[in-house]
Amino acid sequence: MEDIYSARVLEEYKHPKNFGTLSSPTHQSKEANSCGDTIHMFCTVNNSVITEIKFSGKGCAISLAAASLLTEFVKGKTIADVNKLTENDMHQLLGITVPLSRKHCARLALTSLKEALEK
């Protein structure tokens, strides 16, 4: 069994980047999954470009590490860039083979971000 709790995943879980809130986000959304995990995304978007991004919430190591890595990755990217991202991109960011039972954990941050940018 591959250890999905890699050094990278554990580091992002223990010290997540961009964890917090924005006081005046232009876009935000809070999404939950069936486990009870929640990821609240806050973004500032200027001319379709994400200039600031934070997230808050509760979740497992995979969902929090995914949120940390995703928020770091999308800084400076456009809404169109984000909309092109897929579950596989999330797995690549995490750098692990995400087992079937944990795919929803890896997906939550992306779902929340896409939902925020749609509003």
* 81 class by beta-carbon count within 10 Å (0-12 exposed, 13-18 middle, 19+ buried): middle
Q: What angle do CA 23, 17, 72 make, to 5 degrees?
A: 90
To other proteins, the closest distance from the beta carbon of 12 in angstroms equals 13
Among the listed residues 8, 102, 103, 114, the single contact to other proteins using CB under 8 A: 102
Judged by CB under 8 A, does residue 5 bind other proteins?
yes
Residue type, 20: G
Judged by CB under 8 A, does residue 105 bind other proteins?
yes
Which positions touch other proteins (CB under 8 A)? 1, 3-5, 10, 13, 35-37, 58-62, 102, 105
